[in-house]
Each structure stands twice: as structure tokens, then as C-alpha cells.
Amino acid sequence: MLQRLTTRDTLGGLLMIALGLAAAVIGRGYDLGTLRQMGAGWFPVALGVLLAALGLGVILTGRPVQDALAPDTALTPETADRTALQTDGDGSAGPSPLRSLFFVLASIGAFALLIPVLGLILTVPISVALASMADPKSRPVPVLLLGLGLAALTSAIFVLGLGLQMDLLP
Amino acid sequence: MMEILNGLSLGLSVAFSVSTLFYCFVGVAVGTLVGVLPGLGGLATIAMLMPLTYHVAAVDALVMLSGIYYGAAYGGSTASILLNLPGTANTAVTCLDGYPMTKQGRAGVALFMTTIASFVGAFIGLVALVGFAPYLLAAARSFSSQEYFSLMVLGLIAASVLSTASPFKGLAMVTLGLILGLVGTDITSGTNRFTFGSLRLYDGLNLVALAMGMFGVPELIANAGRVRSNIVDSKSITWRSMWPTRDDWKRSTNPMLRGTGIGAVLGALPGTGGLLASFMSYAVEKRVAKDPSRFGNGAIEGIAGPEAANNAAIQTAFIPTLTLGIPGDAVMALMMAAMIIQGIVPGPGLMTQQPELFWGVCVSFLIGNIMLLILNIPLIGVWVKILAVPYWMLFPAVVIFICVGVYSINYSTFDVFWVMIFGFLGYLLAVLKFEVAPLLLGFILGPLMEEHLRRSMLLSRGSFSTFVERPISASFLAAAALILLWLAYASLRGRARARAAKQHAALSE
């Protein structure tokens, strides 16, 4: 039973139920109106209930654990997307996805925090350095050069080319 | 007929202006580039370049974004053939016979033939677009809110269940997208919905931040630190090696035409598109072949058919978007959003009020496809070299372009933080195996759908039966119901078979 609770589909279904109920509960706070003149709350509540019901459907039709672990190797429209995303020529996997997740998000966050303060030319290399940490094999000097190159490129395209009002330096 | 000719001559004058030609070239070149590079899809790229379109004219913006879309289809086959890695999902099926051809030393022929097939498919698809759009438009004029609402229901159901592994998950994603689309001030009542008191959410969630976060960031995370092991020798693809034999031509002609037919029909239907078209074309070619065992071992029919189908579908996918204002898939939804940002309302009014836009875009497709022919045959060596660009350089660059692009729209760091939030959500959904493309479609259609629902209910004085009393609306809903019934039947039959197989296995033990 516990195993059943932790499959991808069960967790995903629960997430949808939670989001759906939240939308419905918040939507109840707006004017529902009548069927003839629907208020701001009618559509959100209807969609929230629908989403929760679909979440239940996801759980009930979910694949059992054994299935979820077995890799689908057949090429079908369903697996094509994943193939396009994840496999390499020799099928080797990259580094830990959590590491990539953390550094890619950190790089975006750093950009948002620093751009108003430091300007484009200093912010870009810092964000590039953070993003590059997602790859455990990255080396400092090439990353620095890449950061400077991208700072020059983005300044050229966005500020000089398109004339956007962005500070280049602090 | 006269109308079409007049339109085409108007389109020619628009599409041949210097700036439109320039953006057309940028679009197809960038499209080929991202198509060639595995792991960077057309959808993420269109989202990435959307901020640029805020600063250029409407026609140019649309021409460029569409160029990326169909350019990626040309480029995608290159990676499929040379590396056995689909550059985009739609060209995954090209790996099946394209890569074996490379191993047999026939990579040049495969690249040449997919480019020709792509061109043929796109050209005939374009003819269908130009030929059918005016007629569909005439029908669309009689549509009222009820028809639009039902058509959206059909489109959203088709898009979410036909191309995803789990229908419930697809439908859940569409619904979540519709809810996210409601964030902000409700135009009818002025109520601020789901804003949690934040002033900045009054205008709704930022589409570009959502699209980049949901599509771009998970792709980046999945690909960061990947090593590219297969390096292709670009010198081996010479002019001489590209020219197909007479036998190749003979084998490819009919599959190309059949593929185009399949693609043109599926592309115009909501929710099916290039991915399904290319797989269906492959299945058809395998079935009609005299010797099906050749498939998977470098059969040229197996690349010519699907490539033509994919490109024909891409062209006809513009039909519902441009004439009805109802996008059939997530890419088209983004395209529609780009139009709305420019103040253009896609739909029946588009062709009459802004004919230069409609025809200019159509003619640019022809020009763009000719450019692609040149980019992908004489200049194929350039793209092959690009396959060698190391990924450690590419992915930080993509992160930077996402950040600068989003920031440049409103100079708002708030929007950049939203990329982070959506990136996390998108990653979570990818881990849980939910597909985010239907979510984007729902997000863009959400407000429109609510408006049509409210208007229909007002017109019918609060009776839902109005949706089934009007024949056109009823037929859209019937089609949607049929899709759902068919899925339920297929899934029950599949379960029953699996159970029978299990019992059989248990008995024989």
C-alpha cells in the first residue's frame, strides 16, 4: 500500500487534487453569480472541481510501481518527447538532475537580484558561472571567457542592436 | 479564386520588403540551428525569442516566429540522421531509417531526401492553407460564442489526450493551464482573482516567463552536463554523396505524396499536428511496402514520408489559428499570443481587416522554405559543424538569453523570478511525467474560453442546452465526446488484454 502511495502517478494526482481544491476554495470567495450572469467565481470553481476530479482519475488509472520502473524503449509518439530530451547518442546520463536544478535556478535568481544593481556586463558572467556549476566537469577559465563573451554578445544584441534601456555597468 | 490571387500579390509585396526578408531569414536560420541541436526544442526557442518580437513590426514578428517553427522541422532531421538523436520530437521517427542510412555511408542521400521531402510537404501544405483558409473563414463568420466555446472544448480535449501518454494527465494539465490563465483582473467584473494581494499580478501571469520556465528550464536541467560523444566528420558529406540514385527517387515519390496528404489533414485538425502525422506516415509506408523488413534498416521511404507529413502538418496547423483564432497546439498558441501582444486579434476578422498580415505571412512561408532548401543542401556542412559545439558552452548561453529576454519585456526582475518559479514547477511536472504543452494551450485560451462561456450563457438565458441545440456547436461537442469514448474503450480493451495475457501466462506455468 505504501508503495502504491509513492508512485509518480499517485503523487501527481494528489498534487492536481490539491491545486484543484485550492482553486475551488479561493474561487468560492469571488462572486459566483447566476448561470445567466456568471460572476468572477463561477469558472474558477468549476475548473477547480474538474481538476480535482481529473487528479483522482490520474491516481486510479496510474501505473503500478513495477511498471513505472520498467523503461519504455519502444519509440512511440508518447516516448518521442522524452527521447528527444533525455538520451544521448550512447545513452549516457548526465550529472545528478538535482544539482542541475539547483544551479540553473540559482543562476536565474542571481540574474534577477543583480541586474538592477550591477548592470548587464557584470551580471552575465556571474550567472554564467553559476549555471556552469551544474556541470561538474566545467573548468574556471573557459567559463570566465564564456561569461565575458556572452556579456559582450547580449550587450551588442539587446542594448546596441535593439536599443533597450538596460544599464551596462553599475 | 480572384480573391486568392489578389491576396497573393498583396502578400508578395509585403513579404519581399527588406525587413521582412531579413526576419524571415533570421527565423529559418535560428529554427534550423535549434532543430539541429538536440535538447533545444522549437517551443522553448519561440518562447525565448518572443521578447524580441515586442520590438519589431507585427508581420515581421510573425514571420520570424513561424520561421523558427518550420525551420526547426528541417534541422531536426539532420540530428536524427547523423546522430540517431531527434533534434525535435517530431523528427524522432526519422531516426528509425535515417541513422541506419548513415551507418551504410548514405548520410548525404538521407539529408538530401529529407530536405526535398520537407519542401514538398511544406509547399503542398501551404497550398492547402491558402486554398482552404478563405472557405473556412466564410464558415467561421456564422460562428457565435456557443460555437467558439464548443470548438475550444474540442481543441483542448484533442490536444491534451491525443499526443500524451495518459489522457487524465493531459486533461489535468489543460485544466491547470486554464486556471493559471485566469490569474489577474477579471475584465467583466473587475474582481482580482488569484492575485494574493500582489499588484503586479493584476495583469495576469507573464506568458513569456511561464513558457520559458515551463519549457526552457526543464530542458536545460535535463541536458546540463551532457557529453556529446558522437562527432560527425563533416567532410564525408560531399555534393556527390548527396545525390540520390534513380531508385531512391522512385521509392521516395509516392511516400512523400502520401505523407503530405496525411500531414495536411492531421495538421489542420486541432491537437494532432506533426508528431502524430510523422508516426502515422511511417506506419502507412511500412504497411504498403512490398518488403516491410527493409524498414528500420535504412529504407528511404521511411524518411521521405514522415518528413513530408511533418512539414505539411506544420503549414496546415496555421489554418485554425489564423482563420478561427483557435490554436491547435502549444506552438500555435504561442504564435497567437505573439499576435495578441501586437494588438492583432487572430480570427475571422484578421483576413478582412489586416489582409496584408495574413497574406504576407503566407507568402513568407514559401520564401522561408526556399531559404531552407538552400540552407540545408549546399550549406549542410555548416550545421554538421554546429553539432560539434560543446554543450557546456551552449546551456549557460541559453540561461542568459532567457533571463535577458524576460527582463527586457518590462524591465521587471519580478518576471525573472517567475521564470525561476515556473522552472521549478515545470521540472516537478516533468519528473511526475506530466506534459506541459497542453498547460500552455489552456493558459492562453483560458480567458477567451471564459468570455465565450459567459456570453453564451447570457444569450441562452442561463441554459446549457444552447450548446447542443445549435447544430455546429453540437457537432464539435459530439466529436469531443467521441474522442473521449474511443479512449475509454481503447484503455478498457488494453486492460482486458493485459489481464487475459497474465491469466494465460499463469495457466501455462
Which of A30, A104, A138 lies at the smallest CB-CB distance from B217? Answer: A104
Please list the alpha-helical segments (H only) found in A35-119. Answer: 42-60, 65-69, 77-86, 97-118
Question: How much is the pLDDT for B231?
Answer: 57
Say if CB B369 and CB B70 are below 8 A apart: yes
The per-residue pLDDT for range B287-327, each reduced to its tens digit, is 888 888 888 888 898 899 999 998 899 888 888 888 888 88
Q: Of residues A147 and A80, which shows the higher confidence score?
A: A147
Q: Is A30 in contact with B191 (Cβ distance < 8 A)?
A: yes
Residues with Cβ within 8 Å of residue A160, at least 6 apart in sequence: none
Q: Is B39 in contact with A84 (Cβ distance < 8 A)?
A: yes
| Cβ under 8 Å to A: B residues 433-462 | 433-435, 450, 453-454, 457-458, 461-462
Between CA B273 and CA B326 the distance in angstroms is 14
Query: How many C-beta atoms lie closer than 10 Å to residue B434's C-beta?
Result: 25
Over residues B118-145, the mean pLDDT reads 86
The per-residue pLDDT for range B338-392, each reduced to its tens digit, is 888 888 888 887 877 888 888 888 899 999 999 998 888 888 888 877 777 777 8
Phi, psi at A36, each rounded to 5°: -75, -45
Q: Which residues in chain B are closer than 8 Å to A108, comparing Cβ atoms?
A: 217, 399, 402-403, 416, 419-420, 423
Residue listed under C-alpha cell 556586463: A121
Between CA A84 and CA A87 the distance in angstroms is 7
pLDDT greater than 80 at residue B459: yes
Q: Which residues in chain A are closer than 8 Å to B462, comparing Cβ atoms?
A: 34-37
Helix (H, G, I), strand (E, B) or coil at B329: coil
Q: Is B161 buried (19+), middle (13-18) or exposed (0-12) by CB count in 10 A?
A: buried
Question: How much is the pLDDT for A13?
Answer: 92
Residue listed under C-alpha cell 529554427: B31
How many residue contacts between A and B have a Cβ separation below 8 Å?
A: 261
Question: How much is the pLDDT for B197?
Answer: 77
Q: Does A125 touch chain B (CB under 8 A)?
A: no
Q: Is A97 in contact with B222 (Cβ distance < 8 A)?
A: yes
Question: How much is the pLDDT for B225?
Answer: 63
* Cα angle A81-A83-A86, degrees, rounded to a multiple of 5: 105
Between CA B210 and CA B436 the distance in angstroms is 11
Q: Is B217 in contact with A108 (Cβ distance < 8 A)?
A: yes
Q: What's the whole-number average pLDDT of chain B?
A: 84
Over residues B267-275, the mean pLDDT reads 74
Confidence of residue A74 (pLDDT cuts 50, 70, 90): very low
Q: Is A26 in contact with B92 (Cβ distance < 8 A)?
A: no
Over residues A20-37, the mean pLDDT reads 90
| Cβ under 8 Å to A: B residues 175-234 | 175-176, 178-179, 182, 186, 188-189, 191, 193-194, 217-230
Q: Which residues in chain B are closer than 8 Å to A67, comparing Cβ atoms?
A: none
Which of A85, A103, A138 lies at the smallest CB-CB distance from B39? Answer: A85
Interface test with A, best of B221, B406, B413 (most A CBs within 10 A): B221
Q: First and final CA of chain B: distance in angstroms?
A: 70
| Cβ under 8 Å to B: A residues 133-162 | 134-138, 142-143, 146-147, 150, 154, 158, 162
The per-residue pLDDT for range B399-455, each reduced to its tens digit, is 898 888 888 878 888 989 999 999 999 999 988 888 888 898 889 888 889 999 999
- Look at residues B274, B295, B278 and name the one whose alpha carbon lies nearest to residue B286: B295
Question: How much is the pLDDT for B232?
Answer: 61
Q: What is the percentage of chain B residues whose pLDDT exceeds 90?
A: 18
Confidence of residue A3 (pLDDT cuts 50, 70, 90): low
Q: Is B229 in contact with A88 (Cβ distance < 8 A)?
A: yes
Question: How much is the pLDDT for B87?
Answer: 66
* Cα angle B127-B129-B130, degrees, rounded to a multiple of 5: 65
Q: Which residues in chain B are closer than 8 Å to A78, comparing Cβ atoms?
A: 163-165
Say if CB B476 and CB B150 are below 8 A apart: yes
pLDDT greater than 50 at residue B102: yes
Say if CB B135 and CB B460 are below 8 A apart: no
Question: How much is the pLDDT for B418?
Answer: 92
* Cα angle B464-B466-B470, degrees, rounded to a multiple of 5: 150
The per-residue pLDDT for range B334-346, each reduced to its tens digit, is 888 888 888 888 8
Question: How much is the pLDDT for B284?
Answer: 87
Question: How much is the pLDDT for B275?
Answer: 77
The per-residue pLDDT for range A35-52, each reduced to its tens digit, is 888 888 899 999 999 999
Question: How much is the pLDDT for A81?
Answer: 47
B148 is written with which cell numbers? 467558439
Task: Give me Rg for the CA atoms of chain B.
Answer: 23
pLDDT greater than 70 at residue B229: no
| Cβ under 8 Å to A: B residues 90-119 | 90, 92-93, 95-96
Q: Is B16 buried (19+), middle (13-18) or exposed (0-12) by CB count in 10 A?
A: middle
Q: Which helix (H) or strand (E) holds B487?
A: helix B471-508
Phi, psi at A32, each rounded to 5°: -75, -35
Q: Which residues in chain B are closer than 8 Å to A135, comparing Cβ atoms?
A: 224-225, 391-392, 395
Phi, psi at B165, each rounded to 5°: -70, -40
Between CA A78 and CA A80 the distance in angstroms is 6
Question: How much is the pLDDT for A150?
Answer: 92
Q: Of residues A87 and A163, which shows the higher confidence score?
A: A163
Say if CB B258 and CB B293 are below 8 A apart: no
Could you tell me the pTM of the whole model?
A: 0.82
pLDDT greater than 90 at residue B494: no
- Look at residues A8, A20, A3 and name the one whose alpha carbon lies nearest to residue A55: A20
| Cβ under 8 Å to A: B residues 33-62 | 38-39, 41, 52, 55
Over residues B208-212, the mean pLDDT reads 86
The per-residue pLDDT for range B46-91, each reduced to its tens digit, is 887 787 787 788 889 889 989 988 888 888 888 788 877 776 767 7
Residue listed under C-alpha cell 519585456: B409
Return the bridge partners of A33, or none.
Answer: A38
Say if CB A99 and CB B236 are below 8 A apart: no
pLDDT greater than 60 at residue B245: yes
pLDDT greater than 50 at residue B110: yes
Confidence of residue A91 (pLDDT cuts 50, 70, 90): very low
Say if CB B312 and CB B263 are below 8 A apart: yes
Counting runs of H as helices and runs of E as strands, what totals does chain B give? Answer: 24, 2
Confidence of residue A92 (pLDDT cuts 50, 70, 90): very low
Amino acid occupying residue B351:
M
The per-residue pLDDT for range A108-120, each reduced to its tens digit, is 999 999 998 998 9
Question: How much is the pLDDT for B272?
Answer: 66
Amino acid occupying residue B221:
I
Q: First and final CA of chain A: distance in angstroms?
A: 58
Q: Is A23 in contact with B178 (Cβ distance < 8 A)?
A: no
- Look at residues B142, B251, B239, B209 and name the one whose alpha carbon lies nearest to residue B424: B209
Confidence of residue A90 (pLDDT cuts 50, 70, 90): very low
Interface test with A, best of B91, B164, B226 (most A CBs within 10 A): B226
Interface test with B, best of A60, A67, A72, A100 (most B CBs within 10 A): A100
Question: How much is the pLDDT for B234?
Answer: 58
The per-residue pLDDT for range A118-166, each reduced to its tens digit, is 989 999 999 999 999 888 888 889 899 999 999 999 888 888 877 777 8
pLDDT greater than 70 at residue A80: no
pLDDT greater than 50 at residue A71: no
Question: How much is the pLDDT for B351?
Answer: 78
Please list the alpha-helical segments (H only) found in B54-93. Answer: 58-83
